[in-house]
Amino acid sequence: MTPITPKKDRQQALRIRRFFIGAASYVMWLILILYCHHLGFIRLSLGWTLFAFGIVISINIFLYLIFRTGLNKKFTDPSLTFLQMTIAALAAMVAIYYTNDIRGIMLVAYIVTILFGVFSFSLIQYFVFTIFSVSCYATVILLLLNNHPDTITLQVEILQLVVFTTVLTWFSMVGSYMRKIRTKLSTTNYRLNNALSTIRELAIHDDLTQAYNRRQMYEELKREKAKADRSGDIFSIALFDLDHFKKINDTYGHLKGDDVLKHLIHSVSHEIREIDSIYRYGGEEFVIIMSDTDAKGAEECACRIQNAIKHLKFPGFSESFCITISTGITTYQPFESIDALIARSDSAMYKAKSLGRNQVVTQNHA
């Protein structure tokens, strides 16, 4: 079943909701006109009145199809605000023309039409619509003078025209001001969301390497543990440490050492899957969390990383400069603690160092 509004296009869904709000105002007009017809204030027969509303409903169905098919996006104003307001204004003026004695009441109801300009009208657009509306009402007065002079008191109609013009002009300025406030709020919200997004990114990433930070590592391990304990899934972690990093810092300086770490993590991130993630555990130690991966798969990944690092070249260093890492692999055991998991991988990593460094060691028991 096709939904009334598109689910994936939020902006288009918003336009259609606004369209429905505008279309609902015709219900108000229908109730008002039928009641006035019942009281004898409408010259048009009931059949012709309902026929006129049938035309208006058909036009709104056509507009809905334009929105639903996305044809509205080809227009400068995809909301079709001016078109919808123009149709509503013309329909209201026809109703006012066929109304006796209570045209002033109908003009009050007409104000509802101009309120929809708040969604998108600028001050100039509001004034254009005001001129259009006043011109329509002036035309109604002239037609009534010519066709039904007995139903009109010219002085009263002129006064109503002046008041109508004044009220619409005032609404134009207020509506334009409200639109500006709405635009500013939208811009502010957009900037605020961007700022919050940036803050969230900064809060979970390591400033230097752009790997995820230690706190985020524990959050991800909690999620992986919960999934594993619940469904029996497996996951592994690899904890690796840059061999002889202190010597690099002492020889080349800490800034160069930082460059090595950044370049290293940039390289490692290209060797892991999209579902895997890398975290800075502390200093020159890093952890890779590998979802749905057993010890064998984790070993293959670690060996691939070591092979890539062996051929890695570092900008600003000599061609002969190279680094190695020592890696400890372990796979999560059901219902064990996160600290136990990390301690086991840490033990495996130190065993790799004791074996001469540049090693991958797997340890799945304490």
How crowded is the C-beta side of 209, counted as CA atoms within 13 Å?
27
**How far lies 230's CA from each of 224, 225, 233, 334, in Å?**
10, 8, 8, 10
Residue in 134, 127, 126, 147 with CA at minimum distance from that of residue 107 = 134
Contact call for residues 301 and 309 (beta carbons, < 8 A): no
DSSP-derived secondary structure for 172-199:
HHHHHHHHHHHHHHHHHHHHHHHHHHHH
CA separation for the pair 117, 107 (Å, rounded): 17
Place of tokens 């892991």: 272
Contact call for residues 236 and 344 (beta carbons, < 8 A): no
Contact call for residues 347 and 321 (beta carbons, < 8 A): no
DSSP-derived secondary structure for 241-273:
EETTHHHHHHHH-HHHHHHHHHHHHHHHHTTS-
Which one from 157, 220, 224, 284 is the annotated catalytic residue?
A: 284
Active site residue 284: yes
Catalytic residues: 284
